[in-house]
Amino acid sequence: MKPERRPSPAGFSTQPGQSNSNPFARAHARAAAANAEANRASGRSANTRVNTPNRQTPAAEIPNELRIPIRDFLQYMRVECGSSKNTIIAYQSDLARFCEYLRLIGKSSLAPIVSDDISAYAGFLAEEGLAAPSRARMMIAVRMLFRFCVTERILNLDPCAIVDQPKLWKHLPEDLAPTEVTRLLEAEDGKTQISCRNRAILELFYATGARVSEVCGLTLNRMDLHSRTVKVMGKGRKERMIPIGQAAIESLSAYLNGVRPLWDKHDSEFVFLSKNGKPLDRHMVFRIVQQAAHMAGIVKRVYPHLLRHSFATHMLEGGANLRIVQELLGHSDLATTEIYTHVKPDRMQAIYTQLFPRA
């Protein structure tokens, strides 16, 4: 069976390429999960200093010498690395921006690009005023493209190999206090059909620490309320099982038994539906979470991933083992989970006051 084709905003077709190996899937997982590396803007020569409007090169303007290897790279990421649709779209967009830069400096293929060009591109992105995480993500896409081309013997040398990779500062994740979580969950009282569904979504987010894409993609056959577990499909199409608590089970049961059957007009496999029977998408779920926060009177910005942060932080503060939390969150690298082990100032003060003799 032919692999499914994905939309291609940058104009790169994702027909199957010739790749048949997977030597850097681990690097991809780290990059996609955490945007953990960035290039600094160093060694930039005067003749590469350009100014350009914020636009991407249309597909018709991208020469075949660039378009074909990028197409094959994207196909490799999707088919062999199992990258999600959203990850592929992000890579397409980032590489289209790189193609625009190459056009501005007069290069129409990957072969003549040298390390100075890569460093200059990092500086160019910085001058455009992009945030450091965005620049890091864009440079990751470029690095992985060249690594793929060397692996596939499209190129002999990787110009990114000798460019410095300073680490980004790790920002401590925000989270909600337990009292704020309670207010958020209770903002939806479940008395209407829509409120019943929304309450189930909020409870599931906090009970599992699931990503928004995992909640939207949750299907009926992956949910077993009798065994108090759900199976979610995470990044790289990795499935994991997560236990759920009584509060979440009650909210989900109310929705699944009392609301969903009335809305399911198309025999859908997905758990969370709109009143028209269509699966909820990420944007709809974002609005549900933000609306609940507004009703709860929570001033800070609240979004689905904040509930994931809160789940992890509260589990660790309650004494959960770091490895267990890693499994629950679906992190491939324990270092990603370790960011949640920070001690909050109020918690630190309480411990100090309790234990230090002269506090």
**pLDDT values of the chain reduced to their tens digit, one per residue, 359 residues:** 434 433 343 455 544 333 334 444 444 444 444 343 333 333 333 333 334 334 555 554 788 889 999 999 999 888 777 777 888 999 999 999 999 999 999 999 999 999 999 999 988 998 888 888 888 889 999 999 999 999 999 999 999 988 877 566 666 678 899 999 999 999 999 999 999 999 999 999 999 999 999 999 999 999 999 999 999 988 777 889 999 999 999 999 999 999 999 999 989 999 999 999 999 999 999 999 999 999 999 999 999 999 999 999 999 888 888 999 999 999 888 888 888 877 566 666 666 677 666 65
Asked if 34 and 119 sit in the same domain, the reply is yes
Catalytic residue among 121, 206, 255, 340: 340
pLDDT reported for residue 168: 62
Residues 50 and 111 in one domain: yes
Given the residues 28, 308, 309, 314, the one annotated as active site:
308
Q: Residue-wise over 296-325: b if at least 16 C-beta within 10 A, else e?
A: bebeeebebbbbbbbbbbbbbeeeeeeeeb
Q: What pLDDT score does 131 carry? A: 82
Q: Is the dihedral of CA 313, 314, 315, 316 positive or negative?
A: positive
Q: Which of 211, 260, 309, 314 is catalytic?
A: 211
Instruction: Verify whether residue 308 is a known catalytic residue.
Output: yes
Check whether residue 137 and residue 182 sit in a common domain.
no
Q: Is 185 in the same domain as 330?
A: yes
Q: Are residues 200 and 112 in the same domain?
A: no
Residue 235 annotated to the active site: yes
Of the residues 115, 133, 151, which one is the last residue of a structural domain? 151
| Residue 252 counted as domain residue | yes
| Crossing angle for the helix pair 304-317 and 322-329, to the nearest 10 degrees | 160
Tokens of 339: 């960011």
Beta strands in 178-228 (DSSP E): 223-224
211 tagged catalytic: yes
- Residue 83 · residue 24 · CB < 8 Å: no
340 is known as an active-site residue:
yes
Catalytic residue, candidates 199, 235, 309, 314: 235
What's the pLDDT at 12? 57
Counted domains in the chain: 2
Contact of 277 with 260, CB cutoff 8 Å: no
358 occurs within a structural domain: no
> 330 and 192, same structural domain?
yes
Judge whether 299 lies within some domain. yes
Structure confidence at residue 163 (pLDDT): 85
pLDDT at 63: 83
The reply to whether 184 and 131 lie within a common domain is no
Q: Are residues 137 and 199 in the same domain?
A: no
Measured CA to CA, the distance from residue 95 to residue 228 in angstroms comes to 43
Any residues with CB less than 8 A from the CB of 64 and at least 6 apart, and which?
Answer: none
Do residues 141 and 196 both lie within one domain?
no
User: Would you call 342 a catalytic residue per the annotation?
Assistant: no
Query: Which 3 state secondary structure label does DSSP give 75?
Result: helix
* 205 lies in some domain: yes
The pLDDT of residue 173: 76
Q: In terms of pTM, does the model score above 0.75?
A: no
What is residue 16's predicted lDDT score, i.e. its pLDDT? 37
| Domain shared by 338 and 262, yes or no | yes
Verify that 249 and 290 share a domain, yes or no: yes
Considering the candidates 228, 231, 305, 342, report the single residue annotated as catalytic. Answer: 305
Provide the CATH number for the domain around residue 213. 1.10.443.10
Question: Is residue 156 in a domain?
Answer: no
Residues 139, 183 within the same domain: no
Structure confidence at residue 314 (pLDDT):
92
Structural domain containing residue 276: 178-343
Whether 71 is in a domain gets the answer: yes
Q: Is 243 helix (H, G, I), strand (E, B) or coil?
A: strand
Q: Residue 180 contacts by C-beta under 8 Å, 6 or more apart in sequence?
A: 296, 298
In a domain, 280, yes or no: yes
Asked if residue 307 belongs to a domain, the reply is: yes
Q: Any idea what DSSP says for residue 222?
A: G
